[in-house]
Amino acid sequence: MVAPKKKIELFFFCLVFFLGACAHANNNEPIKNKPVPVKVSEHVYYVQGLPGIASEQNEGYNSNAGFVVTNDGVIVIDALGTAPLGYEFIKAIRSVTDKPIKRVIVTHFHADHVYGLQAFKEIGAEVWAHRAGLQYVEGEAQMRLEQRRRDLFPWVNEQTRIIKADRWINNDEKFEFGGLHFELIYMGPAHAPDDMVIVVREDQVFFSGDIIFTGRIPFVGEADSKRWLLTMDKLLALKPKLMVTGHGKVSTDPAFDLKLTQDYLIYLRQVMGKAVADFVPFEEAYAKTDWSQFAKVPAFDAANRINAYGTYLLMEKESLAK
């Protein structure tokens, strides 16, 4: 016969287990667009998100992520943009190796790269990110989460939560793991305050995060596009030959693939900067601008107006600072 105290303990244990199971189930909505691992080099794989911004159509799967298989376990780069995608990403890794997933390194704390972190935390992985990411976590993260709960339900829902890093990195860092050497290079603020490039030295593979977008219009928002352009020059100076970008295909010619992002940012700054200098209101300036060279690039319709307005405000700020 079970003692009353033991019955109570058993009841609460079952309740916690049940609630945890429900939370996992609610965060594991079935998805049609499953991550498929593609081999990049001897040790490196990546999964490629769909074109465009995160939407109901692509179930929030619009960003890239990667993983590195070492002798001692797996190092993951970014975690995708929903918890269900995080669980599917783990399955994708398991289709390649059964080695333990030890660590997730975040290129930058934006929603489409980090909402999958909770799936990795459930299996005991450690999360590393640059300390500048706290600006997002302690600032706009909750507002962005509420917006995504509306726009990406049920894949982002009440069970989705922001996962903080277990280790916040202050500077550039190098480490060896499982026979491979990794470099974490802080490049921010550019696209985000905490932009970080991860290099797998033996394979000469660079993970650029969203410093470079291939094949689509970048999301600029309130980013400092002047520093972003300087950061791309800094990245090219490292002479990468193979680069997994935050969105789009793996780049085998980073200098060429960088050109779309560079040209777009330069054009935004030119046309919005001239509007500010001539005291032309944003709506009028936007309507008169010739966007034809970028209009057919994926994500233009969803991102361009937001990007232009953010750049207009930035150019006003730069003008006042002169």
Residue predicted with more confidence, 8 or 284 = 284
Token pair 């060429």 in the structure block, residue: 256
Q: Is the pLDDT of residue 31 over 90?
A: no
Name the pLDDT band for 26 (thresholds 50, 70, 90): low
How confident is the model at residue 322, as a pLDDT?
Answer: 77
- Look at 33-37, 63-67, 266-270, 318-322 and tell me which has the smallest mean pLDDT: 318-322
Residue 65, sorted as left (phi over 0), alpha (psi -120 to 50) or beta, turns out to be beta
Other Cβ atoms closer than 10 A to 14: 10
Q: Which residues pair with 68 in a beta bridge?
A: 44, 75
Q: Is the pLDDT of residue 3 over 70?
A: no
pLDDT tens, position by position, 199-224:
999 999 999 999 999 888 999 988 99
Name the pLDDT band for 27 (thresholds 50, 70, 90): low
Q: How far apart are CA 165 and CA 97, in angstroms?
A: 25
Per-chain mean pLDDT for the chain: 91
Mean pLDDT of 7-31: 49
b vs e for 176-211, b when ≥16 Cβ sit within 10 Å of the residue's Cβ? Answer: ebbebebebbbbbbbbbbbbbbbbbeeeebbbbbbb
Q: How far apart are CA 273 and CA 113, in angstroms?
A: 31
Percent of the chain with pLDDT over 70: 91
User: pTM to 2 decimals?
Assistant: 0.86
pLDDT tens, position by position, 148-189:
999 999 999 999 999 999 999 999 999 999 999 999 999 999
How confident is the model at residue 135, as a pLDDT?
Answer: 86
Q: How far apart are CA 65 and CA 40, in angstroms?
A: 12
Q: How far apart are CA 17 and CA 121, in angstroms?
A: 17
Q: Check: CB of residue 215 under 8 Å from CB of residue 250.
A: no
Closest by Cα among 67, 179, 71 to 125: 67
Q: What are phi and psi of 151, to 5 degrees?
A: -80, -25
How confident is the model at residue 14, as a pLDDT?
Answer: 42
- Spell out the domains of the chain, with CATH numbers in brackets: 33-257 (3.60.15.30)
How confident is the model at residue 24, as a pLDDT?
Answer: 47
Mean pLDDT of 119-129: 98
Other Cβ atoms closer than 10 A to 263: 12
